[in-house]
């Protein structure tokens, strides 16, 4: 993708640092993208970081700062003089400052708030009030607002005047004197209009907007669905208070997908990258689920214990327990994961429950029968004939295969129902994924297995 | 989010259709977002669809058309006269036309290509040549290109002239006479510059770009990383051939996350929403993995069979097989899923392998010991004392708990190594998730279990 090779570049940088060739270092860094410079700075040893950071021109420095990891940001702030801190804060957009405030320890936050200008401080406190997953928490308060009566010429003048302080100029928002949102004008519309056109005439009065308390995931999906670059956010009194921009929406989508994936694998989500998460935090995010699921497996133990007689009579039955459990678990998690993703993407609603069950039942019957036939053939040809397992009689094989059909059936049905029920009662469907379904399906499959065995083998 | 309630709206629409109040219908639809109108049209019965679609003004109709499901698009195209088809095609952006061509059956494609204007047809054929997951396949060829010598005034004139035909005007691309990319100018820079500034002076010459053959997922992640609204795409001779816009990048990110999740759950990914996928396709995407994993479970069966004597002597051991298998599987999938997601987000590289293993080993030891202690206490207090399972001696409990520690250890190590190896040799790491890891860890855990049993119980 990039024209430079990152390892070669790091070596070159280190060489220049050794030789203290600061001017060349600066010339090397300045043309790069802020996100790339941040990646380089994040890799530097602690004592070199402030040195290299101070080489950057003021505006670029602030852009780089935003992209850095919290640990490095904290380190830098601690080396900043009050003036330097103020310079960086002045360049940041409000939503970036809020992100920073959320990540830093209390002492650093205090310093940040002291040095932010009063208006920014007010905005920060405003945004911090919104719950973590709300639209309000990810919005920025810097946008271009226009009035209905302005001409296109006035509007463009206003953009030119305020443009450097607003996060996006792609959309301008038209408000009335009490800040109610009346419409939007895209920069494209402005450029294609005549200079004396009036904003009220060319604005689009049908605005899709979010409310401060909307779920940030829904907001991100609206941006994606409508192909917008920003979405206005209004408060409970319908006053425009901020906008959510598409870059933040992309981050939200990525974070939410990661969270879903983690929950599906029985991990409590964390928002730190893996390599920057310490061992104890990883342990804490994993052990509750492992313990819970381990204890839940007591039920499968009890089922097996209560069929001990059947197992002593037909020891051959034990050998198929793992296969039956795994197949049930896999069949169930296929259904549950498909449904969970559908729910996340709003492709599925609770009202589709019967449709989903009916679809899964048909898929289950097809899968179950295919697996049973394949398994019967395999048991008779490979296990019995080839490997000479004579205790594997056709009746035993029949018990295994019938169990397979019924287990896959139950697994798919349970797998699709549980996430939808979870959603309905307000739980997170993602928790109802593989590990959870597996534990339930294990118990079901063992019960079916021993019931068929008792019935067909006359134990 | 939206101000209207979708069910109430559908009823209102149906009422108006019954009463054939076309003007009111049109007034109701026109202010809505194209994506929302498309959702409504997708729900309509086949005979009503063309009727309602024809109510829409030409430009809006094309925007709605793009957002519709392929089945409904096909249906509409079949009812279109040649003139209507041409009208819709003229309004579409090239990348949308390409999407359409990719989804439609051959006969419809032929008609589309016949009615596209020659230049568009050329672009379509160009884009269709790129592999499905490449940057080339998702780019659009409609962008604003400027020359170095132009003034800001010239540039704005050019944007006003070509603006309606380009997908974005947020960035303009500066090229030399042989179409090599020299730099970019954002619309913001243009608006904030003086009218007589020269493009060559105000452009940013350090352009992040993609190549036509780059992976579309990498391109989407670059857009997200750098916070860009579009990324230029150059061909093998460094000539600018198209741009990828952020809305397409968001779709790619969502699709790729879904694909990863599906693969992790042992499903062959499909790009159709669940409710629109027929039972046979669902069956086909699920059965290969179920069969493969079922057959793999033969190994666990063989291990159990070869320890049948141990099991007959200590039937109590059988009861803990499900718990050990599940815990191993869960521990392994926690590690593998974390690593897979890290790889997808480029937070992890193969060179981090040793770091990752060392981290997982420490997490594994903590998890293993915690689980073992908890389980020992549970077995002694609940199973033996409370439930009176006297055959569960402290030595048996010791075998189970030691197995637990070692299984969790192996599961975490295997779980983190396999996806990274897969990535290294060019396989998709996502396939190395829960079901695959579970099958391997099952065999390992049973082997450890019976080895400890033979050793400690003197079987």
**Helices B34-43 & B6-18, crossing angle to 10 degrees?**
60
Model pLDDT, residue B82: 87
**Does residue B1 register a pLDDT over 70?**
no
CB distance A188 to B163 below 8 Å: yes
Number of domains observed in the structure of chain A: 3
**Where residue A325 sits, what CATH number does that domain have?**
1.10.357.20
A347 contact B CB<8A: yes
Residue A92 domain flag: yes
Q: Which domain holds residue A304?
A: 297-456
Contact A253 B258 (CB under 8 A): no
pLDDT digits (tens, 9 = 90+) for A229-270: 899 999 988 899 999 999 889 989 888 888 888 888 778 887
Say which residue the tokens 């007010």 belong to: A122
Distance CA A44, CA A75 (A): 12
**Does residue B2 register a pLDDT over 50?**
no
Among residues B133, B116, B121, B239, the alpha carbon closest in space to that of B182 is found at B239
Measure A84 CA to nearest chain B CA, in Å.
25
Q: Look at A235 and A390; give whichever has higher pLDDT.
A: A235
A138 contact B CB<8A: no
Measure A106 CA to nearest chain B CA, in Å.
28
Distance CA B79, CA B44 (A): 15
B positions 167-196 inside 8 Å of A (CB): 169-170, 187-188, 191-192
How would you class B132 by CB atoms within 10 Å of its CB: exposed for 0-12, middle for 13-18, buried for 19 or more?
exposed
Whether residue B71 sits in one domain with residue B33: yes
Among residues A200, A157, A158, the alpha carbon closest in space to that of A176 is found at A200
Whether residue B305 sits in one domain with residue B161: no
Read off the pLDDT band of A5 (50, 70, 90): low
Distance CA B410, CA B432 (A): 15
> Which residue in chain A is spatially nearest to B35 when comparing CA positions?
A226
Q: What is the mean pLDDT of chain A?
A: 87
Model pLDDT, residue B92: 85
Read off the pLDDT band of A164 (50, 70, 90): low
Q: Please name every residue paired with B181 in a beta bridge, in sequence order, or none if there are none.
A: B175
Contact B1 A191 (CB under 8 A): no
Among residues B284, B206, B214, B279, the alpha carbon closest in space to that of B252 is found at B214
Find chain A residues with C-beta within 8 A of B433's C-beta: 265
Query: What SS3 state is found at B154?
Result: helix
CB distance B220 to B252 below 8 Å: yes
**Does residue A3 register a pLDDT over 60?**
no
Read off the pLDDT band of A398 (50, 70, 90): very high
Intra-chain end-to-end CA distance of chain A, in Å: 66
Contact B363 A322 (CB under 8 A): no
Q: Which two tokens stand for residue B264?
A: 């992790």
Read off the pLDDT band of A1 (50, 70, 90): very low
Residue A260 domain flag: no
Residue A258 domain flag: no
Whether residue B451 sits in one domain with residue B319: yes
Query: What SS3 state is found at B347?
Result: coil
- Minimum mean pLDDT among A194-203, B6-15, B68-77, B440-449: which range? B6-15
- Minimum mean pLDDT among A127-141, A427-441, B15-29, B389-403: which range? A427-441
State the alpha helices, DSSP H only, in B92-245. 94-103, 106-115, 118-128, 135-138, 152-162, 187-192, 199-202, 216-226
Find chain A residues with C-beta within 8 A of B253's C-beta: 250, 253-254, 257
pLDDT digits (tens, 9 = 90+) for B380-411: 988 888 877 788 888 999 999 999 999 999 99
Query: What SS3 state is found at B313?
Result: helix
Whether residue B323 sits in one domain with residue B217: no
Which residue of A221, A289, A294, A360 is the best one to mutate when testing the B interface, meaning the one whose CB has the most B CBs within 10 A?
A: A294
The alpha carbon dihedral of B162, B165, B170, B175 has a sign of negative
Measure B7 CA to nearest chain A CA, in Å.
12
Distance CA A271, CA A250 (A): 15
B157 contact A CB<8A: no
Residue B277 domain flag: no
Find chain A residues with C-beta within 8 A of B331's C-beta: 286, 290
Find chain B residues with C-beta within 8 A of A215's C-beta: none
* For residues B6-29, average pLDDT: 84
**Does residue B300 register a pLDDT over 90?**
no
Measure B273 CA to nearest chain A CA, in Å.
7
Which residue of A7, A233, A286 is the best one to mutate when testing the B interface, meaning the one whose CB has the most B CBs within 10 A?
A: A286
Please work out, in degrees rounded to the nearest 5, the angle formed at the alpha carbon of residue A34 by the alpha carbons of A29 and A35.
Answer: 115
> Which residue in chain B is spatially nearest to A351 when comparing CA positions?
B7
Distance CA A58, CA B125 (A): 47
**Does residue B3 register a pLDDT over 60?**
no
Find chain A residues with C-beta within 8 A of B366's C-beta: 279-280, 283, 287
A459 contact B CB<8A: no
Largest CA distance in chain B: 94
Model pLDDT, residue A397: 92
Residue A94 domain flag: yes
CB distance A77 to A108 below 8 Å: yes
Whether residue B429 sits in one domain with residue B311: yes
Distance CA B264, CA B259 (A): 9
Write down which residue in A245, A272, A307 finishes a domain. A245
Chain pair A-B, CB pairs under 8 angstroms: 369
Whether residue A157 sits in one domain with residue A48: no
Rounded alpha-carbon distances, angstroms, from residue A455 to A301, A402, A403, A407, A451? 21, 12, 12, 16, 6
- Minimum mean pLDDT among A155-169, B187-201, B218-232, B379-393: which range? A155-169
Q: Please name every residue paired with A181 in a beta bridge, in sequence order, or none if there are none.
A: A175
Contact A267 B295 (CB under 8 A): no
User: How many CA atoms does the CB half-sphere of A446 hold within 13 Å?
Assistant: 30
Measure A228 CA to nearest chain B CA, in Å.
8
B positions 18-57 inside 8 Å of A (CB): 31-35
User: How many CA atoms does the CB half-sphere of B259 hold within 13 Å?
Assistant: 13
Measure B208 CA to nearest chain A CA, in Å.
7
Contact B224 A355 (CB under 8 A): no
B161 contact A CB<8A: no
Find chain B residues with C-beta within 8 A of A223's C-beta: 250
Whether residue A181 sits in one domain with residue A78: no
Model pLDDT, residue B5: 52
Residue A371 domain flag: yes
Residues in chain B: 459
* For residues B158-180, average pLDDT: 83
Query: What SS3 state is found at B175?
Result: strand
Model pLDDT, residue A411: 93
Read off the pLDDT band of A403 (50, 70, 90): very high
* For residues A17-35, average pLDDT: 88
Residue B290 domain flag: no
Helix (H) / strand (E) containing A232: strand A230-234
**Does residue A2 register a pLDDT over 50?**
no
Find the radius of gyration of the CA atoms of chain A.
30
**Segments of B30-170 assigned E as strands:** 144-146
> Which residue in chain A is spatially nearest to B247 when comparing CA positions?
A227
**Does residue A205 register a pLDDT over 70?**
yes
CB distance A265 to B338 below 8 Å: yes
Whether residue B450 sits in one domain with residue B326: yes
Q: Choose among B31, B337, B363: nearest Cβ to A206.
A: B31
Share of chain B above pLDDT 90, in %: 25
CB distance B437 to B415 below 8 Å: yes
**Segments of B235-369 assigned E as strands:** 240-245
Write down which residue in A245, A260, A283 finishes a domain. A245
Whether residue A195 sits in one domain with residue A61: no
CB distance B370 to B288 below 8 Å: no
Whether residue A448 sits in one domain with residue A302: yes
Whether residue A442 sits in one domain with residue A315: yes
Which residue of A214, A225, A229 is the best one to mutate when testing the B interface, meaning the one whose CB has the most B CBs within 10 A?
A: A225
Write down which residue in B227, B255, B283 finishes a domain. B255
Rounded alpha-carbon distances, angstroms, from residue B387 to B86, B148, B380, B384, B442? 77, 84, 10, 6, 28
How would you class A290 by CB atoms within 10 Å of its CB: exposed for 0-12, middle for 13-18, buried for 19 or more?
buried
A73 contact B CB<8A: no
Distance CA B304, CA B244 (A): 55
Q: Choose among A159, A341, A371: nearest Cβ to B290.
A: A371
**Where residue A110 sits, what CATH number does that domain have?**
1.25.60.10
Beta-carbon contacts of residue B186 (< 8 Å; ≥ 6 apart): B170, B171, B172, B204
Distance CA A185, CA A165 (A): 18
Beta-carbon contacts of residue B265 (< 8 Å; ≥ 6 apart): A264, A333, A334, A336, A337, A338, A433, A434, B433, B434, B435
Instruction: Supply φ then ψ for residue B232, to 5 degrees.
Output: -75, 150
Share of chain B above pLDDT 70, in %: 98
Q: Beta-carbon neighbour count of residue B416 at 10 Å?
A: 31
User: How many CA atoms does the CB half-sphere of A252 hold within 13 Å?
Assistant: 25
Distance CA A133, CA B352 (A): 32
> Which residue in chain A is spatially nearest to B234 when comparing CA positions?
A1
Query: What SS3 state is found at A145?
Result: strand
Find chain B residues with C-beta within 8 A of A444's C-beta: none
> Which residue in chain B is spatially nearest to A228 when comparing CA positions?
B247
Find chain A residues with C-beta within 8 A of B295's C-beta: 374, 378
A247 contact B CB<8A: yes
Whether residue A109 sits in one domain with residue A23: yes
Read off the pLDDT band of A6 (50, 70, 90): low
Model pLDDT, residue B164: 67
Distance CA B326, CA A297 (A): 8
**Where residue A196 sits, what CATH number does that domain have?**
3.10.580.10
DSSP-derived secondary structure for A69-91: -HHHHHHHHHH--HHHHHHHHHH
B268 contact A CB<8A: no
Q: Choose among B282, B318, B366: nearest Cβ to A311.
A: B318
Residue B135 domain flag: no
């Amino acid at each position: 993708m990039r024209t430079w090779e990152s390892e070669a570049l790091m070596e070159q940088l280190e060489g220049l640092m050794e030789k203290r060739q600061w001017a060349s270092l600066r010339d090397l860094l300045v043309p790069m993208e802020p996100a790339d410079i941040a990646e380089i700075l994040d890799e530097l040893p602690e004592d070199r970081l402030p040195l290299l950071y101070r080489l950057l021109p003021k505006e670029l420095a602030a852009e780089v700062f935003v992209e850095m990891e919290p640990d490095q940001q904290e380190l830098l702030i601690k080396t900043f003089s009050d003036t330097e801190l103020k310079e960086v804060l002045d360049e940041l957009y409000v939503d970036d400052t809020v992100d920073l405030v959320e990540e830093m320890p209390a002492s650093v936050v205090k310093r940040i708030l002291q040095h932010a200008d009063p208006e920014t401080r007010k905005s920060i406190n405003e945004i911090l009030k919104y719950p973590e997953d709300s639209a309000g928490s990810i919005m920025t308060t810097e946008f271009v607002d226009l009035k209905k009566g302005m001409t296109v010429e006035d509007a463009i003048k206003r953009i030119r005047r305020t443009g450097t302080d607003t996060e996006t100029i792609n959309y301008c928002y038209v408000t009335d004197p009490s800040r109610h949102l009346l419409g939007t004008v895209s920069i494209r519309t402005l450029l294609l209009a005549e200079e004396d056109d009036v904003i009220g005439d060319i604005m689009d009065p049908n605005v899709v907007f979010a409310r401060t308390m909307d779920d940030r995931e829904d907001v991100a999906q609206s941006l994606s669905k409508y192909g917008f670059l920003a979405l206005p956010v209004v408060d409970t009194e319908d006053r425009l208070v901020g906008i959510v921009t598409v870059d933040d929406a992309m981050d939200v989508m990525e974070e939410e997908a990661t969270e879903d994936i983690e929950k599906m694998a029985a991990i409590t989500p964390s928002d730190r990258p893996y390599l920057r998460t310490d061992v104890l935090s990883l342990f804490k995010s994993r052990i509750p689920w492992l313990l819970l699921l381990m204890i839940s497996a007591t039920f499968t133990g009890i089922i097996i214990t209560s069929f001990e007689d059947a197992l002593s009579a037909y020891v051959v039955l034990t050998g198929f327990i793992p296969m039956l459990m795994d197949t049930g678990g896999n069949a169930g998690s296929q259904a549950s994961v498909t449904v969970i993703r559908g729910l996340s993407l709003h492709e599925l609603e609770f009202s589709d429950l019967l449709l989903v069950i009916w679809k899964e039942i048909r898929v289950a019957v097809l899968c179950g029968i295919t697996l049973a036939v394949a398994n019967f053939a395999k048991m008779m040809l490979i296990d019995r004939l080839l490997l000479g397992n004579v205790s594997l009689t056709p009746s035993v094989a029949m018990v295994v295969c019938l169990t397979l059909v019924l287990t896959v059936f139950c697994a798919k049905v349970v797998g699709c129902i549980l996430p939808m029920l979870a959603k309905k009662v307000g739980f997170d469907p993602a928790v109802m994924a593989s590990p959870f379904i597996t534990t339930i399906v294990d118990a079901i499959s063992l019960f079916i297995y021993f019931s068929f065995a008792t019935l067909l083998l006359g134990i």
